[in-house]
């Protein structure tokens, strides 16, 4: 797994492009070592906001967390947000 945000985004969008079904997205991300939530409405979401699912993968040795958030419409991915958290001081220990 890369520590480069641009490369990470490229990998994620190759694995799970926009238009992928929620079930396929979860299965593919889990195959890449991520743990995923089922699609759900965000806490505090406005009526009509798209359901989301989050997938995360943690490496406790280097204290890094990779997070991907998918937005869905009609059970298909419409947008992908991803980020990498680096935690050299183990501050995020219980976040994910």
What share of residues in the chain are helix, strand, coil (percent, to 5)?
A: 20, 35, 45
d(Cα 31, Cα 27) in Å, to the nearest integer?
Answer: 6
Which of the four pLDDT bands, split at 50, 70 and 90, describes residue 96?
Answer: very low
| 39 vs 23, higher pLDDT | 23
pTM comes to: 0.81
Residue 40 binned pLDDT confidence (cut-offs 50, 70, 90): low
Q: Which two tokens stand for residue 10?
A: 């490229």
Q: Say what the pLDDT of residue 92 is.
A: 54
For 73-94, the pLDDT digits (tens) are 999 999 999 999 887 665 555 5
Other CB atoms within a 10 A radius of the CB of residue 49 amount to: 11
pLDDT cut 70: percent of the chain above it: 81
């Amino acid at each position: 797994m890369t520590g480069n945000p641009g490369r990470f985004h490229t990998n994620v969008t190759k694995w799970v492009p926009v238009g992928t079904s929620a079930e396929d997205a979860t299965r593919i991300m889990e195959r890449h070592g991520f743990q995923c939530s089922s699609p759900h409405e965000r806490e505090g979401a406005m009526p009509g906001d798209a359901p989301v699912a989050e997938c995360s993968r943690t490496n406790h040795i280097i204290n890094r967390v990779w997070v991907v958030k998918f937005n869905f419409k009609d059970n298909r991915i419409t947008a992908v947000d991803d980020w990498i958290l680096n935690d050299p001081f183990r501050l995020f220990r219980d976040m994910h």
